[in-house]
Chain A
């Protein structure tokens, strides 16, 4: 083993301990067999002596002493002995033969003692072996059952994860049975073999025997009426996954997983079967080992409202992928309705590994990951191009853009003012063009991560156990980002008798995440947009200031609170001198108790308590822009003035939060066969409670060297400043909150099957929540389902024998959802202030009496087939869901007396189908090839929108009399996420204005404009032609130019009002559907090739049929005039973003009459560039992509090597993640929707796993 590795490995101690134990065993064993002997030769000849005399004789002749406790020995007679050249041992053997005594020689002393009659031990025959499937894959959990006779006692063992078993058999006869779900049973007559290796074959018959775990019940698949998909631990192995939810991408039909960010610890957003909410909350319910997942602490409010479920808050991130036995996704009502009111977004059931009856098995796996440093190919300008671009803007717009044209603009201004000479100006421009900084190289790094998991597993009849320790150290590609996680898990199952089963599970998790705490500047945005002529360091190695990224070098966004001036912003200083750290600890205890009351009647009680604690800190050093931006106290004292630099004091924020949650379920389950009839009934009650507390404080001074904190001192304070003015600032430095909620539920499910051919199921559930008013506190939800196992019919087997399995399913039912922040009563919080000795309120909330549970009605039809002895399997599902009373935070007209209202608003209908197929192309012992594919089509229709009307149709039809810029609209009858806009039709060569294609309706309006033509003045006519909105008075063109300030007509233009109206109508009526935001088709496929001990797997995922916002520097760049610019005449978009770097294509913008280009001329003037707010085809691009999520090569070491190493299994695999993406989108990451976030990078992972 590599020494280096040991030194850095936190599991070092464990290894050393194990090594020591091994060593101690070895020493003991050796000393046990290392006996001494004496080869001294003796000659004897005597007759009829007692032993006493013999001993004396020997004593005289040789140097031996005799020791015995039994005096009778002395009287034993020895017959005739004639011994020559014998050693003492032989002589003693002769003497003691038949005497009933034995001897032992040690250090020249002969010990004689009575011989204890040997108890005849029952013979036990140890049988070992390995069980694999037809592809030589070891099978875990195969039951090995021995029976001597048919009525005899059963003995059992289970294979471990390497397919190995060991069983002690009492007789050299009887039968060993090997049985595994989905495989044909195998029987072996036992005749004393020591090793039995078995290859189990898949059986079509037994496919039905697959058991689905809903988290509450284990149900045979042939009796399951719902739509589910199961992902086994085998499918997750080697994927090099970091999070479970990430692993589900492309694996499950109808599950859309979008990783929001590549930051360490951030989770993916999961949508099952389309969006059924209008505000984007699609998070499914997670069930861990039978109870809703708990754990995690929400962030203190001072940390801001991040996307729900990020770094610390979620329990899902606390589960090591190695600990997972299976993940079951419940998709329709029949499957999920037993989870009722929280199941509308689907349910994901996670089962962790358990122990089994076997000798103790150890497993160890480690992952080493290399994360590739991100690069982008956005085609940005280099230094000389950017300077040329800045120059071209200065030429066109002159003094207007001095402050918007980067460093050139500033220099130009100085030159124009006479502060510097032409030579100095040229020299500076020359110097700058010689610098070409690649900011990605300075801000990002390739990073390395590692994780280790060590497991101990085993058990006896009475007790089985699974214990694991996992550790991971992840480095982000951003310099400052790092996370560590240490988790332990213990699953114990105790079976005191065959009726009772007690489970105990304890898991703990300790994690730490570190990052920078920079405020106001996003490092990815900076890396893309910072000018290449800015530098990270000066020649002397000090931080070089960036004078262009932060606009006019103000830290603050509006000049009204000017604050500290910023002349030396440097991103690397920010990254290293601002630090955020989050530590989280979670403890999770689950107790379960199962008792078989009667035959078939079982009582189960489960209880879980989870405790989570989080500590966070944000330390900002003085001298950073963040420190100046966060300064709150100086701003009060120096109202409207530049705050002196001594108030650049740093800041420390510390926060802590804890959560205590418990849930409990008691259930009675009755399962019974009555001849051909099978009946199953379950009744249960469930309760959950959750309390969270958070507090934080912020110190406006933080000295990171000495750790001092405090409040600033004001030497020259304004005499009018009062205590009250500071009170708010002081009050803002403290924060605390508490949240609590409870739910109680009652549920029942029933299942009936006849001959296992026809199945009927039903469930009902009542959920109550603490926050809902009495009127709507409980909601009844129910489901029914049916199944017909067609291939079990006799006629089927005769008619289509090549289809060995065929089942039809159908279900209908309701699930629900609730928002816990809406109270049915009006609330206030009391302020610490008083008025007339009475307390006053500081917060008022309207009541939400009408808030109800939102309900989802689901309808699902499904079929499962397999052909040719299961070489081909097919599954299909068709669904139609309707979610009513969707609760949303609706922004309302302020004339309702409020800005927003919680409201059971919309109705959304989801329709779609899902297909999955698997084909086993080759299936031989040494070679197999398997492919699987899944595919889902999903449509989400709005039946009732946020607003109650369907007159949005007016906008689309162009009848709407108002300004509309296009974008996403919720239109009744149309799909969610539909985007409307105009078709871009090039740039008008004369005016440089962008052009949009006219629809037929738009052309009709154009004709009206022509009718109106003669009433216009000559100047107006001339302007209309020059600006390109009337290209000919003879015919009707296909496209019309959009004059930036005219189409939404803000202000008075040279054309008459009537013309404006007509132009607006042309625009409105030419509106068209551009596409949808949500992918139409999602899916994935995988290929698995195995040759002997090698395997090659690929996993792909794709999303198709949606459009995403084209990545454009104009839309994504920081707007510099907002951050302190003073020249308000420049408000149009392009000029606003010209301080920072831009895409190369803007070098080719329209500048002069008759320029042919597709980049419109830059708008300028008093009014904002309205065109840049329009949504056109030029702004969108297809979001289709196909990504190779992983490419895995793995190798299992051959048995002879394993035997030499004395381990059961060694597997090595190398995984490449996200190596290939095919897409038309040019931008950071097509999978994150092109938004500006920490991208998910490529990574290479090496994994080693051992079993011993």
Chain B
């Protein structure tokens, strides 16, 4: 008996000791470990699926970047007109809280764009850092593995560049090279391993360009998977680079070669494509009822979103805002601001595409997105780096460098936009430039952030006049052109500094 017991006891102890390592090797259920290149593809794939099927409501595995800024920028730029009652409180005659923040360019809601952009790039950093170390899944060979790894990584690189470029455009004080963005290039497991600070604007641009160049190198090795990829293609990268040099050329981070580079990349992106003069083509581009067409001669990609489900990333670019800052079903009856209306000539095809006359008068309202009358304000479309943009970038870059062909490029553009007599193309370089800039304003009317960034780039003064006893003026080079850095970035544990002017407005969060 005793012997048996002793054996039993010893066996028990040994068995428990011996099986320990496998005992603890328990992986969580319902969760897969990111191991193979297919797992990486599945992460970004959920985002690609969302981009290509905008009607789908569900969230991708990674949070979306701050696509939509139109709600703020269209008010900031004066491109929407707002009911008087929502600016002035009828009862008191005082300026409303809404007007005091949005119309005074002081909205703090802009910080969410910063936060969304960075939270979006975290997983991209993880993919870029580690996808090449992933395992080869069963059933594919090494070559195929590298192809998949390349086009997944390439896609991530372009999106990181795009996101940082936008962050830089909205958040850097335009002329101050010292205050670029935070270049967060890795996934930080331990935040004490890094102390983040703002890079200079030049460093920021260089990083963004280097991501794009790396993507171009990958493209030499591996072509895009047409079914899967979205931004990972040469045309799109060239377009973005043209836009970057164009925006950079007047900034604090400017370099002498910027205008030249803008021309080079704009040319490579245009690649002989001709601007369409068919108003239906323009209409189609912005028509949200046609949600599946996302690539076209006239633009390299567009992102559309309809519906109001949880995955909503941006609201309509042509946004009407009521006092609550919310979409309002009667937006269609708001007339255009008078100074905007005069830009649209009767023989401009864009007048027909963008505007809709209001019944019984000379007033027009915006209907670029064919939303008038429909109860679907919470949809939107973003078409960055359009062919029209490339033409105008090229024209401006040439004009600024005194290259004679500038007027020829403008002429091509105007021919596509006007029927009958096109506007006179001025010979004077400065007046030529003015016309190019005027065309930019018309062309990108109410498009997500375009006018606001143009105002920032050109350092304009915007005077709304006296409203409710307050003079609402955005001076040239005003601090409000650079959006505030979120208070969460600014604690004493961080080297990130606030944009000048916002220090006393934004509370530091601990």
Interface residues of A in 1048-1062 (CB under 8 A from B): 1048-1051, 1060-1061
Pick the contact of A400 from B26, B92, B121 — CB < 8 Å? B92
B251 contacts partner chain A, Cβ-Cβ < 8 Å = no
Pick the contact of A640 from B118, B375, B507 — CB < 8 Å? B375
B98 contacts partner chain A, Cβ-Cβ < 8 Å = yes
Contact with A along B373-397 (1 / 0, CB 8 A): 0011110000000000000000000
Q: Find out whether the CB atom of B45 lies under 8 angstroms from the CB atom of A897.
A: no
Interface stretch (choices B122-130, B427-435, B454-462): B122-130
Task: Using A666-B16, A896-B196 as known contacts, say yes or no to A740 and B29 having CB atoms under 8 A apart.
Answer: yes
Pick the contact of A685 from B16, B61, B327, B491 — CB < 8 Å? B16
Q: Which residues of A contact B61 (CB under 8 A)?
A: 828, 831, 840-844
Q: Find out whether the CB atom of A724 lies under 8 angstroms from the CB atom of B57.
A: yes
Q: Which residues of B contact A846 (CB under 8 A)?
A: 122-123, 126, 187, 189
A720 contacts partner chain B, Cβ-Cβ < 8 Å = yes
Q: Find out whether the CB atom of A1166 lies under 8 angstroms from the CB atom of B190.
A: no
Q: Which residues of B contact A731 (CB under 8 A)?
A: 58
Complex alpha-carbon distance, A687 and B308, angstroms: 50
Q: Find out whether the CB atom of A595 lies under 8 angstroms from the CB atom of B5.
A: yes
Complex alpha-carbon distance, A835 and B43, angstroms: 11
Complex alpha-carbon distance, A947 and B306, angstroms: 41
B359 contacts partner chain A, Cβ-Cβ < 8 Å = no
Complex alpha-carbon distance, A901 and B192, angstroms: 11
Q: Which residues of B contact A895 (CB under 8 A)?
A: 114, 118, 182, 184, 196, 489, 496
Q: Find out whether the CB atom of A844 lies under 8 angstroms from the CB atom of B308.
A: no
Q: Find out whether the CB atom of A640 lies under 8 angstroms from the CB atom of B327.
A: yes
Complex alpha-carbon distance, A1060 and B184, angstroms: 34
Q: Find out whether the CB atom of A636 lies under 8 angstroms from the CB atom of B309.
A: yes
Interface stretch (choices A144-152, A514-522, A958-966, A1002-1010): A958-966
Q: Which residues of A contact B41 (CB under 8 A)?
A: 838
Q: Find out whether the CB atom of B46 lies under 8 angstroms from the CB atom of A838.
A: no
Contact with B along A629-671 (1 / 0, CB 8 A): 0000000100111000000000000000000000010101000
A733 contacts partner chain B, Cβ-Cβ < 8 Å = no
User: Of all chain A residues, which has the CB nearest B122?
Assistant: A897
Complex alpha-carbon distance, A1167 and B107, angstroms: 12
B424 contacts partner chain A, Cβ-Cβ < 8 Å = no
B146 contacts partner chain A, Cβ-Cβ < 8 Å = no
B142 contacts partner chain A, Cβ-Cβ < 8 Å = no
Contact with A along B5-24 (1 / 0, CB 8 A): 11001001100110010011
Interface residues of A in 888-927 (CB under 8 A from B): 890-899, 901, 903-905
Q: Which residues of A contact B184 (CB under 8 A)?
A: 895-897
Interface stretch (choices A24-32, A847-855, A1219-1227): A847-855
**Chain B min CB distance to A31 (Å):** 48
Complex alpha-carbon distance, A1023 and B13, angstroms: 84
Q: Find out whether the CB atom of B24 lies under 8 angstroms from the CB atom of A770.
A: yes
Task: Using A850-B190, A947-B491, A969-B510 as known contacts, say yes or no to A687 and B46 having CB atoms under 8 A apart.
Answer: no
User: Of all chain A residues, which has the CB nearest B492?
Assistant: A951
Interface stretch (choices B30-38, B209-217, B400-408): B30-38
Q: Find out whether the CB atom of B42 lies under 8 angstroms from the CB atom of A1129.
A: no
Interface residues of A in 1039-1089 (CB under 8 A from B): 1048-1051, 1060-1061, 1064
Interface residues of A in 1138-1185 (CB under 8 A from B): 1166-1167
Contact with A along B483-510 (1 / 0, CB 8 A): 0001011111110101000011111101
Pick the contact of A892 from B34, B123, B191, B492 — CB < 8 Å? B191
User: Of all chain A residues, which has the CB nearest B9?
Assistant: A603
Q: Find out whether the CB atom of A948 lies under 8 angstroms from the CB atom of B192.
A: yes
Q: Find out whether the CB atom of B106 lies under 8 angstroms from the CB atom of A1051.
A: yes
Q: Find out whether the CB atom of A890 lies under 8 angstroms from the CB atom of B187.
A: no
A836 contacts partner chain B, Cβ-Cβ < 8 Å = yes
Interface residues of A in 797-848 (CB under 8 A from B): 823, 825-831, 833-836, 838-848
**Chain A min CB distance to B275 (Å):** 32
Task: Using A724-B56, A725-B307 as known contacts, say yes or no to A559 and B324 having CB atoms under 8 A apart.
Answer: yes
Complex alpha-carbon distance, A949 and B61, angstroms: 33
Of residues A636, A827, A834, A903, which shows the largest number of chain B Cβ atoms within 10 Å of its Cβ?
A: A827
A205 contacts partner chain B, Cβ-Cβ < 8 Å = no
Q: Find out whether the CB atom of B504 lies under 8 angstroms from the CB atom of A1049.
A: yes
Q: Which residues of B contact A899 (CB under 8 A)?
A: 115, 119
A421 contacts partner chain B, Cβ-Cβ < 8 Å = no
Q: Which residues of A contact B376 (CB under 8 A)?
A: 639, 720
Complex alpha-carbon distance, A898 and B62, angstroms: 10
Task: Using A828-B61, A842-B61, A965-B507 as known contacts, say yes or no to A897 and B34 having CB atoms under 8 A apart.
Answer: no
Q: Find out whether the CB atom of B29 lies under 8 angstroms from the CB atom of A827.
A: no
B344 contacts partner chain A, Cβ-Cβ < 8 Å = no
**Chain B min CB distance to A1217 (Å):** 40
Task: Using A826-B33, A895-B118 as known contacts, say yes or no to A560 and B324 having CB atoms under 8 A apart.
Answer: yes
Q: Find out whether the CB atom of B118 lies under 8 angstroms from the CB atom of A894.
A: yes
B257 contacts partner chain A, Cβ-Cβ < 8 Å = no
Pick the contact of A962 from B55, B119, B503 — CB < 8 Å? B503
Q: Which residues of B contact A597 (CB under 8 A)?
A: 2, 5-6, 9
Give the number of chain A interface residues (Cβ < 8 Å): 108
Complex alpha-carbon distance, A945 and B498, angstroms: 23
Interface residues of A in 923-966 (CB under 8 A from B): 947-949, 951-952, 954-955, 960-965
**Chain A min CB distance to B230 (Å):** 11
Q: Find out whether the CB atom of A639 lies under 8 angstroms from the CB atom of B49.
A: no
A576 contacts partner chain B, Cβ-Cβ < 8 Å = no
A727 contacts partner chain B, Cβ-Cβ < 8 Å = yes
Q: Find out whether the CB atom of A1166 lies under 8 angstroms from the CB atom of B96.
A: yes
**Chain A min CB distance to B150 (Å):** 17
Q: Find out whether the CB atom of A835 lies under 8 angstroms from the CB atom of B45.
A: yes
Q: Which residues of A contact B57 (CB under 8 A)?
A: 724-725, 727-728
Q: Find out whether the CB atom of B493 lies under 8 angstroms from the CB atom of A949.
A: yes
Q: Which residues of B contact A949 (CB under 8 A)?
A: 492-493
Interface residues of B in 112-162 (CB under 8 A from A): 114-115, 118-119, 121-123, 125-126
Q: Find out whether the CB atom of B20 lies under 8 angstroms from the CB atom of A770.
A: no
A1126 contacts partner chain B, Cβ-Cβ < 8 Å = yes
Pick the contact of B324 from A399, A954, A1126 — CB < 8 Å? A1126
**Chain A min CB distance to B331 (Å):** 11
Task: Using A841-B43, A1129-B89 as known contacts, say yes or no to A827 and B34 having CB atoms under 8 A apart.
Answer: yes
Q: Find out whether the CB atom of A666 lies under 8 angstroms from the CB atom of B12.
A: yes
Q: Find out whether the CB atom of B119 lies under 8 angstroms from the CB atom of A897.
A: yes
B206 contacts partner chain A, Cβ-Cβ < 8 Å = no
Of residues A720, A890, A905, A952, which shows the largest number of chain B Cβ atoms within 10 Å of its Cβ?
A: A720
Q: Which residues of A contact B375 (CB under 8 A)?
A: 639-641, 718
Q: Which residues of A contact B101 (CB under 8 A)?
A: 1166
Complex alpha-carbon distance, A400 and B6, angstroms: 87
Q: Find out whether the CB atom of B91 lies under 8 angstroms from the CB atom of A841.
A: no
Pick the contact of A835 from B48, B324, B488 — CB < 8 Å? B48
User: Of all chain B residues, which has the CB nearest A953?
Assistant: B492
Please list 17 pairs of residues, one from A and one from B, whose beta carbons are closer than 8 Å in the complex, sorted by A's number. A398-B92, A666-B9, A718-B375, A728-B309, A738-B30, A825-B33, A836-B228, A840-B60, A840-B61, A841-B39, A850-B189, A892-B191, A896-B191, A897-B119, A949-B493, A962-B507, A962-B508
Besides the known contacts A895-B196, A897-B118, A1166-B101, 5 further A-B residue pairs in the complex with CB atoms under 8 A apart: A640-B327, A685-B17, A838-B42, A840-B42, A896-B122
Q: Which residues of B contact A (CB under 8 A)?
A: 2, 5-6, 9, 12-13, 16-17, 20, 23-26, 28-34, 38-39, 41-43, 45-46, 48-49, 52, 55-62, 89, 91-92, 94-98, 100-101, 104, 106, 114-115, 118-119, 121-123, 125-126, 182, 184, 187-192, 194, 196, 227-228, 306-310, 323-324, 326-327, 329, 375-378, 486, 488-494, 496, 498, 503-508, 510
Q: Which residues of A contact B (CB under 8 A)?
A: 398-400, 402, 559-560, 595, 597, 603, 605, 636, 639-641, 664, 666, 668, 685, 687, 718, 720, 722, 724-725, 727-728, 731, 737-744, 746, 768-771, 777, 823, 825-831, 833-836, 838-850, 890-899, 901, 903-905, 947-949, 951-952, 954-955, 960-965, 969, 1048-1051, 1060-1061, 1064, 1126-1129, 1131, 1166-1167
